[in-house]
Amino acid sequence: DAGITQSPRYKITETGRQVTLMCHQTWSHSYMFWYRQDLGHGLRLIYYSAAADITDKGEVPDGYVVSRSKTENFPLTLESATRSQTSVYFCASMRAYNQPQHFGDGTRLSIL
């Protein structure tokens, strides 16, 4: 089925470890986004990408790395996880600036 999928849905890891969250969309949307959702903060943009090989920082990029070698994939890597990165992470895609974003179901990440 067409859509946007995130994996894994749940992840528990330890501080200092590297962890990668995957995001895949089947619409060939140009834009893709990574958000984190925390109580009291709503959704905060981590990184975004306007097209393959074009990425840029959002509101809270520190400690995260992204890449986009293919239009359909937009992985998010925590290079050395910290407890403050415990959160729910959402990936989204968008066809154009005046169109809505479509969200995945999220990855719940716990860092011990």
Residue 31 lies near other proteins (rule: CB under 8 A): yes
Residue of the chain from 45, 61, 73, 110 that contacts other proteins (CB under 8 A) = 45
Residue 43 lies near other proteins (rule: CB under 8 A): yes
Q: What is the dihedral of CA 112, 59, 4, 50, to 10 degrees?
A: -140
Residue 2 lies near other proteins (rule: CB under 8 A): no
**Looking at 15-23, 50-58, 62-70, 72-80, which segment touches other proteins (CB under 8 A)?**
50-58
Closer CB to other proteins, residue 42 or residue 62? Answer: 42
Residue 97 lies near other proteins (rule: CB under 8 A): yes
CB contact at 8 A, 60 and 41: no
Residue 42 lies near other proteins (rule: CB under 8 A): yes
Residue of the chain from 64, 90, 93, 111 that contacts other proteins (CB under 8 A) = 90
Cα distances (Å, whole numbers) of residue 86 to 52, 73, 92: 28, 23, 19
Write a three-state SS string for 13-27: ECCCCCEEEEEEECC
Nearest Cα residue to 74 out of 90, 95, 88, 97:
90
CA–CA distance, 80 with 63 (Å, rounded to integer): 7
User: Site residues (CB under 8 A) for other proteins?
Assistant: 31, 33, 40-43, 45, 48, 50, 56, 58, 90, 92, 97-98, 100-106
